[in-house]
Amino acid sequence: MAHVLSDVLSAAEARALFEAAAALPFEDGAKTAGRLAKRVKDNQQAADGTDTQAVLARLERALLAHPVFGALAYPKSFAKLLVSRTEGGGQYGAHVDNALMNGARTDLSFTLFLTPPEDYVGGELVIMDGLEDRAVKLGQGELILYPSDSLHRVEPVTEGARLVIVGWVQSFVSDPRAREILFDLWTAASVAEAAEDFAQVQRISKARSNLLRMWAV
């Protein structure tokens, strides 16, 4: 199940991150693509270096501090993050993300949109779930989190440039069904807390914690 997070960054933080990412040096994105993905990948990514790592670290800190991201992903580690730029008709054809990156299993993928959507044409992230293609193009600073085993593509960017940060998470909870149950319980506890039903909060939190003990790896 895909989830959109609209408050990972403030508007000012999103603009600052966009400006910092746009100033990075870029290289051919095919350098890090898998054998099959190289055939369909036509974009650029920020070259590794101190400035690039600083941009990525800012997003990592924001995600680790975001309660909803934590309740959805249960992040054990970030397998990888990179800054991607697509322009001049570039695209990324249908593919599935690598199951392992840097020795970590990829359970969840995310895309943080940095370029304001009105500044480029095309570039939708299309998640293909077998029933329909869901095209996603978010505002500056908004993020979509979705299962890494999803077949997906990025539509051609015909005007302007699409700048995003993409990343992959290894979760403490590998089973997506278990993560969904845990998120439902977290949501229920939040509703009970808002209603000041603290006895219910305790019961729900106990169930969630005990399930997490059973499922975490």
Label residue 34 by pLDDT band (50, 70, 90). low
Q: Do 102 and 11 lie in a common domain?
A: yes
What are the pLDDT digits (tens) for 50-80?
999 999 999 999 999 999 999 999 999 999 9
* Cβ burial 8-37 (10 Å sphere, 16+ → b, else e): bbeeeebeebbebbbebebeebeebbeeeb
State how far the Cα of 88 lies from the Cα of 155, in Å rounded to an integer: 12
User: Residue 77 CB: number of other CB atoms within 10 A?
Assistant: 14
Q: Do 136 and 188 lie in a common domain?
A: no
Q: Provide the terminal-to-terminal Cα distance of the chain, rounded to the nearest Å.
A: 21
What are the pLDDT digits (tens) for 145-166?
999 999 999 999 999 999 999 9
Q: Do 133 and 192 lie in a common domain?
A: no
Q: Do 29 and 99 lie in a common domain?
A: yes
What are the pLDDT digits (tens) for 183-196?
999 999 999 999 99
Q: Do 106 and 207 lie in a common domain?
A: no
Q: Do 167 and 180 lie in a common domain?
A: no
What are the pLDDT digits (tens) for 96-147?
999 999 999 999 999 999 999 999 999 999 999 877 899 999 999 999 999 9
Integer-rounded Cα Rg, in Å, for the chain is 18
Q: Which of 171, 187, 207 is the last residue of a domain?
A: 171
Q: Do 100 and 198 lie in a common domain?
A: no
Structurally, the chain folds into a number of domains equal to: 2
Which domain, by its residues, includes 97?
3-171
- Match 């509703």 to its residue by tokens: 191
Q: Do 130 and 207 lie in a common domain?
A: no
The residue among 150, 212, 205 whose CA lies nearest residue 175 is 212
Q: Do 184 and 163 lie in a common domain?
A: no
Q: Do 157 and 188 lie in a common domain?
A: no
Note the pLDDT of residue 66: 98
CATH code for the domain of 71: 2.60.120.620
Q: Where would I find the H helices in the chain?
A: 11-22, 50-64, 67-73, 176-194, 198-215
Q: Do 48 and 105 lie in a common domain?
A: yes
State how far the Cα of 28 lies from the Cα of 92, in Å rounded to an integer: 13
For the entire predicted model, the pTM comes to: 0.93
Per-residue pLDDT for 33 more than 70? no
Q: Do 28 and 119 lie in a common domain?
A: yes
